Amino acid sequence: MKRIEQSLRTLFLICATIMLTVGLVGCTDGMKHPEEYSTDGSNKVAATSNPQTISKEDLGHTWPLKVDKGTVSCKLSKHGDPILRFTTSDGAQYALNQVQDNEHLKSIETLKSDKSKSVGTLMSFAFSVCDIPK
């Protein structure tokens, strides 16, 4: 009986280790720095200023918005959280992330050209803008 319990514990530990390893690999597989995210295969956009203008031309087929360009900005909240915003050419601001300082803004999701498109590449770019001092 003791041998069976020991075998079951060993089997459990092996299974748990395998599941943890697969889970971690799945979470980190393909993680890249924001500038390494592919756009349309021919160009990559890099943050050079804060705020910075970005356009449909910059992101190619991954551009998710109804407008063709805008400005991405990042500043830190009093708690140190990034406040990410997208401003259209007519001055309308949209929240790129859900932080307290963006509660009064419409979500960037409302500006998407197609609900199935992801704002992931734009968000990654916005986080890279945070690395540029204002």
pLDDT in tens, the chain (134 residues): 767 776 666 655 565 556 655 554 544 434 444 444 454 444 578 899 999 999 999 999 899 999 999 999 999 999 899 999 999 999 999 999 999 999 999 999 999 999 899 999 999 999 999 988 76
CB atoms within 10 A of CB 15: 10
Residue type, 62: T
Rounded CA separation 51/63 (Å): 18
Rounded CA separation 65/56 (Å): 8
Rounded CA separation 127/45 (Å): 13
Residues comprising the chain, all counted: 134
Of the chain, the end-to-end C-alpha distance in Å amounts to: 68
Contact by Cβ (8 Å): 82, 74: yes
Rounded CA separation 89/134 (Å): 20
pTM of this structure: 0.68
Query: What pLDDT does 11 receive?
Result: 58
For 102-124, the three-class secondary structure string (H helix, E strand, C coil) is HCCCEEHHHHECCCCCCCHHHHH
